[in-house]
Amino acid sequence: MAIFTGSGVAIVTPFLENGEVDYESFRGLIEFHIANGTDSIIVCGTTGESSTLTHEEHIECIRFCAEVVAKRVPVIAGTGSNCTETAIYLSQEAEKAGVDGLLIVTPYYNKATQKGLINHYTAIANSVSLPIILYNVPSRTGVNILPETAVYLAKNVDNIVGIKEATGNISQVAKLMSLADGCLDLYSGNDDQVVPILSLGGKGVISVIANIAPKQTHDLVAKYLEGDVKGSMELQLKSIELCDALFCEVNPIPVKKAVELMGLCGGKLRMPLSEMEPANAERLEKAMRDFGLEF
Protein backbone atom coordinates (compact mmCIF):
# COMPACT_ATOMS: atom_id res chain seq x y z
CA MET A 1 0.00 0.00 0.00
CA ALA A 2 1.35 3.45 -0.94
CA ILE A 3 2.46 5.81 1.84
CA PHE A 4 0.05 8.30 0.29
CA THR A 5 -1.93 8.91 -2.87
CA GLY A 6 -2.64 12.41 -4.15
CA SER A 7 -0.99 15.73 -3.37
CA GLY A 8 1.87 15.85 -0.89
CA VAL A 9 3.05 19.35 -0.07
CA ALA A 10 6.79 19.97 0.21
CA ILE A 11 6.06 22.41 3.00
CA VAL A 12 8.10 25.55 3.58
CA THR A 13 9.76 26.15 6.93
CA PRO A 14 8.75 29.60 8.25
CA PHE A 15 11.37 31.69 10.01
CA LEU A 16 11.11 34.66 12.35
CA GLU A 17 12.96 37.87 11.52
CA ASN A 18 15.77 36.79 13.85
CA GLY A 19 16.21 33.61 11.79
CA GLU A 20 14.71 31.16 14.27
CA VAL A 21 12.02 28.69 13.21
CA ASP A 22 8.56 30.25 13.54
CA TYR A 23 6.63 27.38 15.09
CA GLU A 24 3.41 29.38 15.52
CA SER A 25 3.25 30.05 11.77
CA PHE A 26 4.33 26.47 11.09
CA ARG A 27 1.32 25.22 13.04
CA GLY A 28 -0.93 27.51 11.01
CA LEU A 29 0.51 26.24 7.73
CA ILE A 30 -0.08 22.63 8.74
CA GLU A 31 -3.70 23.35 9.65
CA PHE A 32 -4.18 25.26 6.38
CA HIS A 33 -3.08 22.22 4.40
CA ILE A 34 -5.20 19.74 6.28
CA ALA A 35 -8.25 22.00 5.90
CA ASN A 36 -7.66 22.35 2.15
CA GLY A 37 -7.29 18.72 1.17
CA THR A 38 -3.53 18.15 1.12
CA ASP A 39 -3.04 14.38 1.24
CA SER A 40 0.40 14.28 2.85
CA ILE A 41 2.91 16.70 4.37
CA ILE A 42 6.57 16.39 3.46
CA VAL A 43 8.61 18.20 6.10
CA CYS A 44 12.25 19.30 5.89
CA GLY A 45 12.68 18.76 2.19
CA THR A 46 14.50 21.10 -0.20
CA THR A 47 11.55 23.50 -0.14
CA GLY A 48 11.77 23.43 3.66
CA GLU A 49 15.36 24.73 3.47
CA SER A 50 16.63 21.60 5.21
CA SER A 51 20.20 22.30 4.10
CA THR A 52 20.34 25.37 6.37
CA LEU A 53 18.75 23.76 9.42
CA THR A 54 20.98 22.52 12.20
CA HIS A 55 20.54 18.86 13.05
CA GLU A 56 18.67 19.90 16.19
CA GLU A 57 16.32 22.20 14.25
CA HIS A 58 15.82 19.54 11.58
CA ILE A 59 14.74 16.95 14.14
CA GLU A 60 12.59 19.42 16.08
CA CYS A 61 10.75 20.54 12.92
CA ILE A 62 10.00 16.91 12.09
CA ARG A 63 8.86 16.18 15.63
CA PHE A 64 6.68 19.30 15.73
CA CYS A 65 5.05 18.53 12.38
CA ALA A 66 4.26 14.95 13.37
CA GLU A 67 2.82 16.12 16.68
CA VAL A 68 0.57 18.79 15.15
CA VAL A 69 -0.64 16.55 12.31
CA ALA A 70 -1.42 13.81 14.83
CA LYS A 71 -1.93 11.13 12.14
CA ARG A 72 -4.65 13.08 10.29
CA VAL A 73 -2.57 12.71 7.11
CA PRO A 74 0.75 10.94 6.53
CA VAL A 75 3.88 12.89 7.44
CA ILE A 76 7.00 12.14 5.41
CA ALA A 77 10.32 13.48 6.68
CA GLY A 78 13.18 14.54 4.47
CA THR A 79 16.23 12.94 6.06
CA GLY A 80 18.71 12.71 3.20
CA SER A 81 22.33 13.80 3.39
CA ASN A 82 25.53 13.44 1.41
CA CYS A 83 26.92 11.72 4.50
CA THR A 84 25.42 8.26 4.97
CA GLU A 85 25.90 8.29 8.74
CA THR A 86 24.12 11.65 9.02
CA ALA A 87 21.23 10.35 6.92
CA ILE A 88 20.99 7.31 9.20
CA TYR A 89 20.97 9.52 12.29
CA LEU A 90 18.28 11.85 10.94
CA SER A 91 16.20 8.90 9.73
CA GLN A 92 16.32 7.18 13.09
CA GLU A 93 15.36 10.38 14.88
CA ALA A 94 12.47 10.91 12.47
CA GLU A 95 11.24 7.40 13.18
CA LYS A 96 11.30 8.16 16.91
CA ALA A 97 9.25 11.29 16.18
CA GLY A 98 6.44 9.17 14.75
CA VAL A 99 6.48 10.06 11.05
CA ASP A 100 4.94 7.73 8.47
CA GLY A 101 7.75 7.62 5.93
CA LEU A 102 11.04 9.10 4.78
CA LEU A 103 12.06 11.00 1.65
CA ILE A 104 15.77 10.54 1.00
CA VAL A 105 17.54 12.58 -1.66
CA THR A 106 20.58 11.24 -3.47
CA PRO A 107 23.93 12.24 -1.93
CA TYR A 108 24.74 15.67 -3.35
CA TYR A 109 28.24 16.95 -4.18
CA ASN A 110 29.85 13.51 -3.63
CA LYS A 111 28.30 12.31 -6.92
CA ALA A 112 28.16 8.66 -5.89
CA THR A 113 28.31 5.88 -8.47
CA GLN A 114 25.29 3.62 -8.93
CA LYS A 115 27.01 1.07 -6.67
CA GLY A 116 27.53 3.81 -4.13
CA LEU A 117 23.86 4.74 -4.30
CA ILE A 118 22.86 1.13 -3.69
CA ASN A 119 25.16 0.92 -0.66
CA HIS A 120 24.01 4.30 0.68
CA TYR A 121 20.28 3.62 0.42
CA THR A 122 20.58 0.06 1.67
CA ALA A 123 22.46 1.18 4.79
CA ILE A 124 19.85 3.85 5.58
CA ALA A 125 16.90 1.54 4.93
CA ASN A 126 18.40 -1.18 7.12
CA SER A 127 18.71 1.29 10.02
CA VAL A 128 14.95 1.99 10.24
CA SER A 129 11.64 0.21 9.71
CA LEU A 130 9.86 3.12 7.99
CA PRO A 131 8.96 3.03 4.28
CA ILE A 132 11.34 5.09 2.14
CA ILE A 133 10.80 7.17 -0.99
CA LEU A 134 13.93 7.74 -3.06
CA TYR A 135 14.34 11.31 -4.33
CA ASN A 136 15.93 11.70 -7.74
CA VAL A 137 16.74 15.32 -8.64
CA PRO A 138 19.97 15.43 -10.67
CA SER A 139 19.73 19.17 -11.34
CA ARG A 140 20.44 19.78 -7.64
CA THR A 141 22.55 16.80 -6.67
CA GLY A 142 24.66 16.05 -9.74
CA VAL A 143 23.74 12.36 -9.67
CA ASN A 144 20.96 10.42 -11.37
CA ILE A 145 19.38 7.24 -9.99
CA LEU A 146 19.21 5.09 -13.10
CA PRO A 147 16.01 3.04 -13.58
CA GLU A 148 17.91 -0.21 -13.09
CA THR A 149 19.32 1.04 -9.78
CA ALA A 150 15.95 2.18 -8.44
CA VAL A 151 14.35 -1.14 -9.36
CA TYR A 152 17.23 -3.12 -7.84
CA LEU A 153 16.77 -1.24 -4.56
CA ALA A 154 12.99 -1.75 -4.54
CA LYS A 155 13.34 -5.46 -5.20
CA ASN A 156 16.14 -6.07 -2.71
CA VAL A 157 15.33 -3.73 0.19
CA ASP A 158 11.89 -4.31 1.70
CA ASN A 159 11.21 -0.79 2.95
CA ILE A 160 12.29 1.09 -0.20
CA VAL A 161 8.84 1.50 -1.70
CA GLY A 162 8.72 4.64 -3.84
CA ILE A 163 10.53 7.28 -5.85
CA LYS A 164 10.05 11.01 -6.31
CA GLU A 165 11.09 11.64 -9.91
CA ALA A 166 12.32 15.15 -10.66
CA THR A 167 14.61 14.44 -13.58
CA GLY A 168 12.15 16.00 -16.02
CA ASN A 169 12.97 13.09 -18.32
CA ILE A 170 9.68 11.38 -19.13
CA SER A 171 11.46 8.76 -21.22
CA GLN A 172 13.53 7.74 -18.20
CA VAL A 173 10.40 7.57 -16.04
CA ALA A 174 8.69 5.39 -18.64
CA LYS A 175 11.66 3.01 -18.65
CA LEU A 176 11.67 2.96 -14.86
CA MET A 177 8.00 2.02 -14.64
CA SER A 178 8.42 -0.61 -17.33
CA LEU A 179 11.26 -2.26 -15.39
CA ALA A 180 9.57 -1.82 -12.01
CA ASP A 181 6.43 -3.71 -13.00
CA GLY A 182 4.63 -2.43 -9.90
CA CYS A 183 7.40 -2.69 -7.31
CA LEU A 184 7.83 1.11 -6.90
CA ASP A 185 5.28 3.83 -6.15
CA LEU A 186 5.95 6.81 -8.40
CA TYR A 187 5.50 10.48 -7.45
CA SER A 188 6.06 13.50 -9.64
CA GLY A 189 8.71 15.86 -8.35
CA ASN A 190 7.83 18.51 -10.93
CA ASP A 191 4.59 20.46 -10.69
CA ASP A 192 4.39 20.93 -14.45
CA GLN A 193 4.55 17.18 -15.13
CA VAL A 194 1.96 15.73 -12.78
CA VAL A 195 -0.43 14.46 -15.46
CA PRO A 196 2.34 12.85 -17.56
CA ILE A 197 3.65 11.10 -14.43
CA LEU A 198 0.15 9.93 -13.47
CA SER A 199 -0.30 8.57 -16.99
CA LEU A 200 2.71 6.30 -16.39
CA GLY A 201 1.23 4.90 -13.20
CA GLY A 202 2.10 7.63 -10.72
CA LYS A 203 0.42 7.85 -7.31
CA GLY A 204 0.60 11.63 -7.02
CA VAL A 205 2.94 14.56 -6.60
CA ILE A 206 5.31 15.96 -4.00
CA SER A 207 4.53 19.56 -4.76
CA VAL A 208 5.82 23.10 -4.35
CA ILE A 209 2.74 24.79 -5.82
CA ALA A 210 0.60 23.02 -3.21
CA ASN A 211 2.06 25.43 -0.64
CA ILE A 212 -0.24 28.12 -2.05
CA ALA A 213 -2.80 26.08 -4.04
CA PRO A 214 -3.43 22.97 -1.94
CA LYS A 215 -7.00 22.32 -3.02
CA GLN A 216 -6.25 22.77 -6.71
CA THR A 217 -3.26 20.42 -6.51
CA HIS A 218 -5.30 17.82 -4.64
CA ASP A 219 -8.06 18.12 -7.23
CA LEU A 220 -5.64 17.78 -10.15
CA VAL A 221 -4.53 14.36 -8.91
CA ALA A 222 -7.95 13.25 -7.66
CA LYS A 223 -9.63 14.01 -10.97
CA TYR A 224 -7.09 11.94 -12.88
CA LEU A 225 -7.34 8.99 -10.51
CA GLU A 226 -11.15 9.14 -10.67
CA GLY A 227 -11.03 8.93 -14.47
CA ASP A 228 -11.59 12.61 -15.27
CA VAL A 229 -8.43 12.91 -17.35
CA LYS A 230 -9.71 15.96 -19.23
CA GLY A 231 -10.50 17.81 -16.02
CA SER A 232 -7.10 16.94 -14.60
CA MET A 233 -5.38 18.07 -17.79
CA GLU A 234 -7.21 21.40 -17.70
CA LEU A 235 -6.00 22.04 -14.15
CA GLN A 236 -2.46 21.06 -15.17
CA LEU A 237 -2.43 23.45 -18.11
CA LYS A 238 -3.96 26.25 -16.04
CA SER A 239 -1.10 25.89 -13.54
CA ILE A 240 1.79 26.20 -16.02
CA GLU A 241 2.21 29.98 -15.80
CA LEU A 242 2.23 29.78 -12.00
CA CYS A 243 4.67 26.86 -12.06
CA ASP A 244 7.01 28.86 -14.27
CA ALA A 245 6.82 31.86 -11.95
CA LEU A 246 7.47 29.68 -8.88
CA PHE A 247 10.70 28.47 -10.47
CA CYS A 248 11.92 31.66 -12.14
CA GLU A 249 14.46 31.82 -9.31
CA VAL A 250 15.83 28.87 -7.39
CA ASN A 251 13.29 27.09 -5.18
CA PRO A 252 12.22 27.99 -2.48
CA ILE A 253 12.86 31.71 -3.06
CA PRO A 254 9.65 32.32 -5.07
CA VAL A 255 7.36 30.11 -2.99
CA LYS A 256 8.57 31.82 0.18
CA LYS A 257 7.52 35.12 -1.41
CA ALA A 258 4.20 33.57 -2.44
CA VAL A 259 3.27 32.35 1.04
CA GLU A 260 4.18 35.79 2.37
CA LEU A 261 1.93 37.48 -0.22
CA MET A 262 -0.92 35.19 0.84
CA GLY A 263 -0.37 36.04 4.50
CA LEU A 264 0.30 32.41 5.43
CA CYS A 265 3.68 33.14 7.04
CA GLY A 266 6.66 35.42 6.72
CA GLY A 267 8.89 35.08 3.69
CA LYS A 268 12.25 35.21 5.41
CA LEU A 269 14.93 32.99 3.88
CA ARG A 270 18.17 31.72 5.30
CA MET A 271 21.41 32.56 3.54
CA PRO A 272 22.78 31.80 1.04
CA LEU A 273 19.26 32.24 -0.41
CA SER A 274 18.38 35.88 -0.99
CA GLU A 275 15.31 38.06 -1.47
CA MET A 276 13.49 37.66 -4.77
CA GLU A 277 14.29 40.21 -7.49
CA PRO A 278 11.50 42.84 -7.74
CA ALA A 279 10.71 42.12 -11.40
CA ASN A 280 10.38 38.41 -10.66
CA ALA A 281 8.23 39.12 -7.62
CA GLU A 282 5.87 41.15 -9.84
CA ARG A 283 5.75 38.27 -12.30
CA LEU A 284 4.93 35.87 -9.49
CA GLU A 285 2.18 38.08 -8.09
CA LYS A 286 0.56 38.38 -11.53
CA ALA A 287 0.71 34.61 -12.07
CA MET A 288 -0.89 34.02 -8.69
CA ARG A 289 -3.74 36.40 -9.49
CA ASP A 290 -4.20 34.93 -12.98
CA PHE A 291 -4.44 31.48 -11.39
CA GLY A 292 -7.25 32.74 -9.19
CA LEU A 293 -5.47 32.93 -5.84
CA GLU A 294 -6.82 35.62 -3.52
CA PHE A 295 -4.52 37.65 -1.32
* pLDDT average, residue stretch 42-65: 98
* pLDDT for residue 237: 98
> What is the reported pLDDT for 244?
98
What's the pLDDT at 31?
98
Cβ neighbourhood burial of 37 (10 Å; 0-12, 13-18, 19+)? middle
Mean pLDDT of the chain: 97
Mean pLDDT over 269-274 rounds to 97
Say what the pTM is: 0.97
In this structure, which long-range contacts are made by residues 253-257, counting pairs with CB atoms below 8 Å and at least 24 apart in sequence? 254/280, 254/284, 255/12, 255/47, 255/208, 255/209, 255/211, 255/212, 256/12, 257/281, 257/284
Query: Considering the chain, what percentage of its residues have pLDDT values greater than 90?
Result: 99
| 146 band by pLDDT with thresholds 50, 70 and 90 | very high
Q: Is the pLDDT of residue 1 over 90?
A: no
Residue 92 confidence (pLDDT) above 90: yes
Residue 290 binned pLDDT confidence (cut-offs 50, 70, 90): very high
| DSSP tag of 50 | G
Residues marked active site are found at 135, 164
Q: Residue 139: is its pLDDT beyond 90? A: yes
**Does the structure show a pLDDT above 90 at 198?**
yes
Per this entry, what is the length of the chain?
295
